[in-house]
Chains A and B, each alone.
Chain A
Amino acid sequence: MASRQAKRKRGMTAWSGRKRSGARVSLRQEDAALSARERRWLRQLVACGGVFVVIVAAKLILPDRLDGLSSQLRAVLEQNMDVREVFSAVGQAAAGEKSVDKTLDEVYRAVFHPQEDGALQTASPAVVPEVSENAAMDSLRSFRTQQEAADREAEASAGNLAYVLYSDQNLPENVSMEQAILGFSYCAPVGGTISSGFGYREHPTEGEERFHYGLDLAADTGTAIACFADGTVKAVGESSSYGKYLIVSHEGGYDTLYAHCSSIDVSSGTEVCRGQTIARVGDTGIATGPHLHFELHRDGVYLNPIYYVAAV
């Protein structure tokens, strides 16, 4: 009876069972070359080693394929619903601050459009192929197209369109080449040279023609980045392509994005004013040298920042 209990304990625990089981039982089992548990461990070790060897071999034999696969895998792994937003929406409902349908709407948005804030996924040239296959992004895009159409109508009536520089039939759908009248004062974020403009270009690291959604201003690492205009910091974050970035929202539905920063001096929710130092130039993320990648959005549509940066 005692030995049976001891045996059962051995089955359940890793170390304490062995100590407690006593010489009588363990001697008999160790006569066999390997105990059942040791055999299981050995099998696990062999399986893990096998997986390791296969991956190393695949990396050596098919480096390109595996790179593609790993970047695809990384994109899928990083794709994530915004759990915190879900919790916040539910918490606000519990506090009685929001009606149920508004809460459901917010939860839906946090789950299916977690990147909507900065439209980062569509903007990032490096991530576009993975994301374009994503059904969630398609619905987001169609939503944006509708919004864009609504915006265009509003503009036509308001007449706040200065002129259209050129019309390109092949523009991505969420891009507008027009020069909008901002309606607030602004300044150039960095006094550097323009190293890459808004529009189609050969991607510096991927080597193929892609749309560049912002303006690259080359400057030394540590150069102060001035805030484009008065506003509120909407998001501060870090991504594989953008590096350290922040988004500031301004009046009239305009947002500016500052990417590849070496450091960021403000936090989300901070009120900032025009010309205030909000970050420092760097080369974090996908960058071939220190520069500021500057984007201007209006209600999710990418505008060409050149009109507002070069003129000052």
Chain B
Amino acid sequence: MWRRYDGTLHISGGFWLLLGWFLYANGWWLLLTVLAAAGLHECGHYAVLRLLGARVVSMRVGVFGAEMKTSGALSYAGELAAVLAGPAANLAAGLLLAGAGEPWIAAAGAQVVLGLFNLLPVRPLDGGRALTLAVSWALGPAVGERAAGAVSGCAAVALACGTVWLMGKTGGSFWLLPAAAGFAAAAWRELAGKRSFL
């Protein structure tokens, strides 16, 4: 189900489906707000990557989010900066929009929610990756991988259960399903699957 626009951008069919579903459930305004927040998030990553001299080779957008592939080696500090740049861009935009007042309040909330969501310590979310990088930087890659695997796995189990519970409790909200599936997959990968680092 991969659609290819040019050499560098892949957008999955599932992503379009999720987009349609979210649009149906929540309307245009919210869809655009969330997409703007997601776009800004990726711009944050991209800007820091370019600043550090890395090249973005390809980008894949799927139901579980976007993923960039880069060429060129980065230091732990550099990669940490690039990983944290996305959520940082969201949180900064959130505060800025919140300061702008009424019509922008909900958009500010969307930015903050997206930024905080990405800081969850679950790989491949930015928070999980940042945790891996930070611990690896301080204590070496083996410790970093083990620590991040354990934290990420436990957090993913908790979040998968939480998302499913939320869907049950609200009696719908099916657009949360990819998030639940993503968390479950992450938990499986971390706790039961093979551990291939990054």
Give me the interface of A with B, judged by CB distance under 8 Å.
Answer: 12-14, 16, 76-81, 83-84, 86-96, 111-112, 114, 131, 134-137
Contacts and interface: CB of A to CB of B under 8 A. Distances in A.
Interface in B101-121: 101, 104-110, 112-113
Interface in B133-189: 166, 168-174
Given A76-B171, A91-B107, A95-B108, 4 more contacts: A94-B112, A95-B98, A136-B169, A136-B171
Contacts of A86: 109, 113
B3 A88 contact: no
The 5 closest A-B pairs by CB, nearest first: A79-B172, A91-B109, A87-B109, A95-B98, A90-B109
Most chain A CB inside 10 Å of its own CB: which residue of B98, B99, B168: B98
B171 A94 contact: no
B86 interface: no
B172 A88 contact: no
Contact of B169 (A91, A92, A95, A135): A135
B95 A94 contact: yes
Nearest to A91: B109
Interface in B31-50: 33
B30 interface: yes
Contacts of B33: 87
Given A83-B30, A134-B171, A92 B105 contact: yes
Interface of B: 2-4, 25-26, 29-30, 33, 94-95, 97-99, 101, 104-110, 112-113, 166, 168-174
A136 B167 CA distance: 11
A96 B99 CA distance: 9
20 contacts: A12-B2, A76-B171, A76-B174, A77-B172, A79-B171, A79-B172, A80-B26, A80-B172, A80-B173, A86-B113, A87-B33, A87-B107, A87-B110, A88-B109, A91-B108, A92-B98, A94-B94, A95-B98, A135-B171, A137-B171
